[in-house]
Amino acid sequence: MSETKYTEEHEWLRVNAAGEVVIGITHYAQEQLGDVVFVELPAIGASIAVGSEVAVVESVKAASDIKAPLSGEVTAVNDKLHDAPELANADPEGEGWFFAMTAQDIAALDEYMDEAAYQQLINAS
Amino acid sequence: MWETAALPKLKDSSMTHTIKTTTLHALHQQHGARLVAFAGYHLPIQYQHGIKHEHLHTRQHASLFDVSHMGQIQISGADVLAGLQHLVPSDLDTLPTDHSRYSVLTNAAGGVLDDLIITPRTDGVRLIVNAACKQQDVACLRQHFGTDAAISLLDDHDLLALQGPAAAGALRDIIPAVDALRFMQAGQYHVNGVELFITRSGYTGEDGFEISLPNSHTQPFVEQLLCAEAVRLAGLGARDSLRLEAGLCLYGQDLTPDITPVEAGLGWLIAKKYRADEGASPCFPGAELLLRQLAEGVEKVRVGLRVSGRIPVRAGATVTAADGAAVGRISSGGYGPTVAAPIAMAYVPPSCARPGTALYAEVRHQRLALTVVPLPFVEHRYHTH
């Protein structure tokens, strides 16, 4: 189990046993978004570039883009979100994960915040 | 609409200081409100339980909305109702004192400048208008009435909406006499020496009340209302999803200066006395065009749409026919918590407006299937008898 990393875009990233990076939105993000009614996920096998729009969260309020935090290939998506988008609210950093990907440059992960730094940023906002 | 940038940028702490707060600002914060800038005011979009919860609570029990950003206008003078008749298509001759009527201010092209509630009172006429339009409306009224009437924007009054099946019970406990009001009736009441102007109306499709009261008394009155177990605070988010399910127009989206009341399905607002066989000569702006539209039809009409699947279709999306040709535009769209599905309203040609018609919307390069349905999505439950 690796350390969880966080982006300024309110995503969390964690490397799983297979060496893939699992990505979802933070608890703070789901709170800000409100009730999630749909999550549009990328296709398995899709090649994604860092900063590109890779997923969309539709809440009762609005649609929000989720940007790819790394470049690489999508290896898995959380199908449970299709019928139970509310998982993104109920357990955003667990059962409500979005997708997994292989990273072209795994070292890029180190540039993201650790939990303490992320908490500090949220508290300051 | 409120600002829809859903995820705040952590490094963006810019907050303009010209935005006003309402009397209840501190109370909203105490109740965990998420405040957004809307029409120049900091207003709660939601409280801690979220929009869906507040929406469902309103339909099952009762919710209290702070709508103090809305414009409350008092027109005082002799025969002001007759004067107002020159600005709106509704029949004000048949509107008794202390009865409310929904209407629109039109421009010369028949487009809607604002939608409003008109209530004649013994001391003049009270209007409730949209926050974003209130200064413009006051200017328009002052120009129209000149020295014949005094037009005042009641900035020293707040407006509360108490909505839902338990609203009447909760308000009756404080003011027993409100029980006598029927839908779109109004009255003046005194509580602890303060005058409240109450109409049995609202923007949710439910039974409910809109309560106008002096700023100085808003907080204690709200605290008293919140003592009722059925009553919870609800924000603008739930107000929007409730009105969408009720098929009610939002000014700036479903009604604009480029949309006429006939196109909006509000042709019923236009007084019968102006129809050809009755012969009263109409005097409101755009009358000629609107009467022609009533007689000959229109090129676009407002329809309700169900969206298949779970992806909400938002305002601004293009509506297409089966062959891919663009036929219209979504004016309001989102998720309806009571319907438990995405719903929308759009302007389309009459040939595409029959219930059951299959249409499509383009959302992020996907074609979503839409079906025209009758409005409202959720039946109104007004207290009419």
Q: Which of B7, B47, B308 to probe by mutation at the A interface, max A CB count within 10 Å?
A: B7
Single-letter amino acid code for the residue at B30: Q
Contact B6 A10 (CB under 8 A): no
Eight-state DSSP code of residue A106: G
Token pair of B275 as six digits: 């129809």
Other Cβ atoms closer than 10 A to A86: 15
Condensed to tens digits (0 to 9), the pLDDT of residues B189-211 reads 999 899 999 999 999 999 999 99
Query: Closest to B314 (Cβ–Cβ): which among A8, A40, A63?
Result: A63
Residue B10 contacts A, CB cutoff 8 Å: yes
For residue B10, is pLDDT > 70?
Answer: no
| B312 chain-A contacts, CB cut-off 8 A | 37-38, 58, 63
Rounded distance between C-alpha atoms, residue B10 and residue A7, angstroms:
10
For residue B18, name the pLDDT band (cuts at 50, 70, 90). Answer: confident
Higher pLDDT, B3 or B269: B269
Condensed to tens digits (0 to 9), the pLDDT of residues B322-372 reads 999 999 999 999 999 999 999 999 999 999 999 999 999 999 889 999 999
**3-state SS class at B340:** coil
Rounded distance between C-alpha atoms, residue A96 and residue B23, angstroms:
39
Instruction: Output the CA–CA distances (angstroms, integers) from residue B196 to B28, B129, B327, in the order listed.
Output: 22, 18, 47
**H runs (alpha helix) in chain B:** 25-30, 51-60, 80-84, 134-145, 167-172, 218-226, 236-245, 287-296
Rounded distance between C-alpha atoms, residue B46 and residue A43, angstroms:
34
| B32 chain-A contacts, CB cut-off 8 A | none
The answer to whether the CB of B233 falls within 8 A of the CB of B24 is: no
Q: Which of A37, A41, A121 to probe by mutation at the B interface, max B CB count within 10 Å?
A: A37
Structure pTM?
A: 0.92
Query: Closest to B6 (Cβ–Cβ): which among A59, A122, A125?
Result: A59
Closest chain A residue to the Cα of B336, Cα to Cα: A60
For residue B17, name the pLDDT band (cuts at 50, 70, 90). Answer: low
Condensed to tens digits (0 to 9), the pLDDT of residues B209-250 reads 999 999 999 999 999 999 999 999 999 999 999 999 999 999
